[in-house]
Structure 1
Amino acid sequence: MSTTRLVLLMFVLNIAVVLGGLFVNYKMIQSATLGAAQPASEAKADEAVEEEEGEPAEYVFVPVEKVIVSLPGDGREHYFVLDLVLQAEFGTDPKKLAQVDPMVRSSVVANLSAMRFEDLRALQIPQLQKQLEEDLLADFASRKVATPFQHVLVSKMIVQ
């Protein structure tokens, strides 16, 4: 290949790289100016959609440890020891969550002690969590007490 052809090829490649860089900069500047010119209400709506689609929400978790339930079953007493976790939205006052601990314990013991050992043992963890959550929310509503948490999670379960 001759020197003039090599120089010409390098010149064409340099022009292609410069044009590509200009195009990328133009697109970046265009998207930045469009984002700044967007009205605040549209920007908030876009942020809300992005949060719903991809970003996970932040939560506060408060443990309720060692809820002990005695259950009748096959000729003897059985014991369930549950460690629960209350899931609340980020920013919920931790004191409010700590104050509901006795009511959560009472409701869990009352609802689970009405079951037979075999029935409770047959429940899978997600089913148990769902049942506990429904019972707790219903119990709080019947007593007209505000519920500072959204979900109840089982973090540990010991069966004897």
Structure 2
Amino acid sequence: MASAKSKFFKVLGFLFLISAWTGGVLWADWQSPKWVEEFLAEEPVVPVAKFYPLDKFIISIPGDKYPHYLLLELALKSNNPKLKSVLDEADPLIRNSLMKMFSRKSFEQLNSTEQLDSLQNEALMHIVKVLVEHKFPSDIDEVLFTRMVIQ
């Protein structure tokens, strides 16, 4: 009989301990002190820019005596992680727009290193315009020329 009482008190003590623990956790959660919120708060995720390289372009450029050729490789910078599928779908539109833009430039305009920033901005505006006209998302932040060779 003593062992039955002993087991009963052990089980009762265990149930009391579990109940007290659960009650304490619920009470602490109900009180929700500031330090718990700060401890459990997640840091905001900073969006990381992604770079999407396009296939290289070879464009004929009119010259005074003979035609020149431009080899251009560029990448698009965006914070949109889903832009890759948009660029795959809109690739012919983007390439056509850029080929028209660069083929209207003269050899002197393209050969000047001071023109790189303005050419990148102009290319960005052309790409965004084409994407908007065809109802594609146009959240491109920057156009980067990764290689540019003029002959």
Matching of residue 127 in structure 1 with residue 118 in structure 2: yes
Please list every run of at least 4 consecutive aligned residues from structure 1 whose deviation after the TM superposition is greater than 4 angstroms.
none
In 2, the alpha carbon distance for the partners of 1:93 and 1:84 equals 15
Aligned-residue Cα RMSD (Å) equals 2.7
Aligned to 2:104: 114
- 2:51/2:76 contact within 8 Å kept: yes
In 1, the alpha carbon distance for the partners of 2:35 and 2:146 equals 44
Matching of residue 88 in structure 1 with residue 78 in structure 2: yes
Aligned to 1:98: 88
Secondary structure at the counterpart of residue 147 of structure 2: strand
Aligned to 1:138: 129
Matching of residue 152 in structure 1 with residue 143 in structure 2: yes
Aligned to 2:69: 79
Q: Which amino acid aligns with 2:122?
A: Q
| Alignment TM-score, normalising by the size of structure 1 | 0.60
In 2, the alpha carbon distance for the partners of 1:98 and 1:37 equals 43
| Alignment TM-score, normalising by the size of structure 2 | 0.63
In 1, the alpha carbon distance for the partners of 2:83 and 2:131 equals 18
In 1, the alpha carbon distance for the partners of 2:86 and 2:133 equals 18
- 1:71/1:116 contact within 8 Å kept: yes
